[in-house]
Structure 1
Amino acid sequence: MTDATYLETPQGRRLAYHKTDGAGDGRPGVVFLGGFKSDMGGTKAIFLEEWCRARGLSFLRFDYSGHGESSEPFTDGCIGDWAEDAEVAITELTSGPQILVGSSMGGWISLLMTKRLHDRVAGLVTIAAAPDFTEDSMWAGFTQAQRLALDMVQHVELPSEYGEPYVITKRLIEDGRDHLVLRDPVPLPFPVRFLHGTADADVELSVALRLMEKSVGEDIHLKLVKGADHRFSTPECLDLIGTGIEEVLARL
């Protein structure tokens, strides 16, 4: 595998990325936006890179600051920082319209990008999207002791099935409140495909239904996959991600 290339952001962060050029036939490119504490070397990102290369589509995958090969400690970051990273990566590293593919937290980031870069977004595919999770999942689920610890020592630790505990900072929670998207209608005036597994133990099905309810647009579909978990990385699930992109392309 080739080494990552790096992009310096206006905020002084150094983002690692891999970019695949397309056939130059005018079709939109694809940008993958990963999840919380994940990286661009995951199964879905690599699958999409190969999928796009086989079809002559440009593709971008990158690590937010504090993730993967990018600079900064993870615990220094927050939704606002990672949204800034995504905005500069899309602006500086792609040209023309793009189809955003957002996984978990990347679904939230992609929704923020539809507001900030609406002229550049041709379509949207989300996978187990987790908009507003810092408030509606983390903060809402904290005990009184955890909330007190967050105030006193500025962080709490949450267990994770993916390895070491998640260190959740007070800044992450407070900054998340400045970027909530499900409190108002979400305009999505382009083809949209939401994918969600019924066995997702990290993002409840109610989140997908609420996102569907809040979304405003003429071509928005929610596909529920019985038995699929949060990773959504089985061969069958990966094929469904590709199908989602194909459906968006066909509608453009």
Structure 2
Amino acid sequence: MTEPSFLVTPEGRRIAYRLTDGEGPAVVFCGGFKSDMEGTKALHLQAWAERTGRAFLRFDYSGHGQSEGAFLDGSIGDWFEDARAVCGLLAGPLLLVGSSMGGWISLLLAREMGARVAGLVGIAAAPDFTEDSMWGGFNAAQREALQRAGQVILPSDYSEEPYIITRRLIEEGRRRLVLRDPLELGFPVRLLQGTADVDVPPSVALRLLDHATGPDIRLTLVKGADHRFSTPECLRMIEQAVEELLAR
């Protein structure tokens, strides 16, 4: 595989990305917390874009994958700025596809870019998770450790390496919340959510559906699908959601 391309963001972070030329609107994939652009969903959409002649962009946030920086130094705001910078490589309308944390990043992009967004597909979207899931789920000892030591360690279901959650991640995330203020999404939105997702449960998708306003927002619940949402059937559903919105 060829080496990725790189850009330096206005904030000085060196970000790896892969851009496939093709017909617009360009599809931009925003990955999840501690994931990278070589994941199953990103690669599936890459293959779809090559097969259909669509413009497609995938990238690694700073501290993720092949981008520079330390993961522990990052925050939601940093990763939003990274996503905004790579979107600047593209002209014209964008269709955002956000997985887990990438769903939150996509909503931040949509809130800032407004009319430039042609549509949004959220896959187990996790808006405000640093506040509602992490901080909200910490016990008193974990909250005290976060304040005293600046970090708390959580087990991971996806690797042997635990998650180290920093105080900056929590505190900076409070500046990026999207479920506390009006969230107008004036473009088609498709939310895909597994009922067996224990990391981002269906209640999060329902809350987002209830909170957001817009002319065309739909939620699809998939019985038995987990947070990865990467079975052949789930991948086909992602593809179909993207194709539907592009056809509009």
- TM-score clears 0.5: yes
- Which of 53, 59, 63 in structure 2 is aligned with 1:62? 59
Aligned residue number for residue 155 of structure 1: 151
| Letter of the structure 1 residue corresponding to residue 18 of structure 2 | H
- What is the rounded CA distance, in whole Å, between the counterparts of 1:249 and 1:13 in structure 2? 31
CA contact (8 A) 1:87 1:117 kept: no
- What is the rounded CA distance, in whole Å, between the counterparts of 1:247 and 1:219 in structure 2? 12
- What is the rounded CA distance, in whole Å, between the counterparts of 1:185 and 1:242 in structure 2? 29
* Structure-to-structure mapping, 1:226-241, within 5 angstroms: 226-241=223-238
- What is the rounded CA distance, in whole Å, between the counterparts of 1:120 and 1:218 in structure 2? 16
| Deviation >4 Å, runs of 4+ | none
Render the CA deviation track for 1:148-201: whole Å, top value 9, x for unaligned.
Answer: 110111000100011110010000000011110011221111111000000001
Gaps of 5+ in 1: none
Tell me if 1:43 matches 2:40.
Answer: yes
Aligned residue number for residue 11 of structure 1: 11
- What is the rounded CA distance, in whole Å, between the counterparts of 2:226 and 2:70 in structure 1? 28
**Alignment identity in percent?**
64
- What is the rounded CA distance, in whole Å, between the counterparts of 1:10 and 1:99 in structure 2? 23
SS for the counterpart of 1:149 is helix
CA contact (8 A) 1:15 1:62 kept: yes
- Which of 82, 85, 104 in structure 2 is aligned with 1:85? 82
Tell me if 1:215 matches 2:216.
Answer: no
**Two-structure CA RMSD over aligned residues (Å):** 0.8
Gaps of 5+ in 2: none
SS for the counterpart of 1:126 is strand
SS for the counterpart of 1:187 is coil
TM-score between the two structures when normalised by the length of structure 1 = 0.96
Aligned residue number for residue 21 of structure 1: 21
How many corresponding residue pairs? 247
Render the CA deviation track for 1:189-237: whole Å, top value 9, x for unaligned.
Answer: 1111000000001001110000000111111110000000000000100
SS for the counterpart of 1:178 is coil
Aligned residue number for residue 106 of structure 1: 102
Tell me if 1:141 matches 2:113.
Answer: no
